[in-house]
Amino acid sequence: MPERDAYYGKLAAKTMEEMHLIDSTNDKSPLMFSLQKGNPLAVVKVGNNNIPQERKQRIAREFNFSETVFLHNAEAGQPPRVDIFTPVNEMDFAGHPVIGAGHLLFRELQGNNSHAPGQEQQNLTILTKAGPVAVSYEPSEEVVSAEVPHNVHVHSRGTPITNIKDVQPSMSASDFQDVEDTHPTVSIVKGVTYVLMDLTEHPGLFANLVPGDSPKLDLDEGWAPSFTGIMYYRALGSREQGDTRVWNLRVRMIAINLEDPACGSGSCALGAYLALSKGQQSRKHRFYIDQGAEMGRDSHIVVDITLDEEGTKVSTIKLAGRAAFVAEGKIFIS
């Protein structure tokens, strides 16, 4: 049929690129087939193709994951570059996409034998819009770690509870009874901002949250525009372990009418804030963060925060997680 021939002729003329689906921050072996755990991530390898940003946005909207990564080939003297998109906007940095992209890059560098015993730690750099990110892979633990670019800023004005109620319309006023009137607003870098809502004493409210819109925030001068989300959290306890304060947290992150099964940048913002404000003089902090159980997509993130000698600024942030490769194939990009 002429119509069919014309249709397949058009398909043949389209550009196809390699695509991988990864469950990032999954607590399974990265090479196990493990569905519905961790945070689903699409990584599209675009090679040297110059794809318009609006086209990338359309592809990210089609996947409709919390983030989609577009991985560009390394140019002369430069590391491989990633562009990170949510279904509605591009982000300068996001944690779990960098972890997922790191797992893919290390897998390709080492072939499918990346988990063979006796291998040493591997290192490389990934270029994001927020700057270069040093990532490492530890074969014995099957974990990718990333040194997170940061410019931690606690905004002078907290977010009033009314702004949070607005994005949880299914909740009644009584649901928020005895909750603080304002909540800290923290940017991990310019363009990525979270409200931090402590629900440690409110397990019922924490359990009944539903996906909602991003909150309206009053950011300090020079920090807008920004992606905005809410990190709801419950502190399950902390302890001293050597020279490090160790925390256990349960979190939920909601924005852009989605709930994120694993939010690396939000976890880094939350960890930085707690280390700075409630660290009890400790310089080193490790956060074990569980997320996604309410969605049936359990995720596990580790965040290490080191403060400066005075304990007033964040010196380093490291984010770590495992991943599971779920599927791979081709996608039309033009």
Q: Which of 3, 17, 62, 67 is catalytic?
A: 67
The reply to whether 181 and 308 lie within a common domain is yes
Residue 256, exposed/middle/buried by CB under 10 A (0-12, 13-18, 19+)? middle
The tens digit of pLDDT for each residue in 113-131 reads 555 555 788 999 999 999 9
The reply to whether 40 and 134 lie within a common domain is yes
Domain with residue 168: its CATH number is 3.10.310.10
The reply to whether 293 and 327 lie within a common domain is no
The reply to whether 225 and 310 lie within a common domain is yes
The reply to whether 135 and 171 lie within a common domain is no
The reply to whether 96 and 210 lie within a common domain is no
Q: What is the pTM of this model?
A: 0.86
The reply to whether 128 and 54 lie within a common domain is yes
The tens digit of pLDDT for each residue in 131-153 reads 999 999 999 888 999 999 999 99
Evaluate whether 126 touches 141 at the Cβ level (below 8 Å).
Answer: no
The tens digit of pLDDT for each residue in 210-231 reads 999 999 999 999 999 999 999 9
Let me know if 67 is a catalytic residue: yes
pLDDT at 12: 45
Contacts for 177 with CB less than 8 Å, ≥ 6 apart: none
DSSP assignment of 128-194, as one string? ETTEEEEEEEETTTTEEEEE-----EE-SSPEEHHHHHHT-TTS-GGGGTTS-SEE-EEEEETTEEE
The reply to whether 226 and 164 lie within a common domain is yes
pLDDT at 198: 98
* Overall domain count for the chain: 2
The tens digit of pLDDT for each residue in 10-38 reads 444 456 678 888 887 555 433 222 345 78
Q: Residue 112 sits in which domain range? A: 2-147+323-332
The reply to whether 159 and 143 lie within a common domain is no
Return mean pLDDT, the chain. Answer: 89
Q: How many residues are listed for the chain in this entry? A: 334
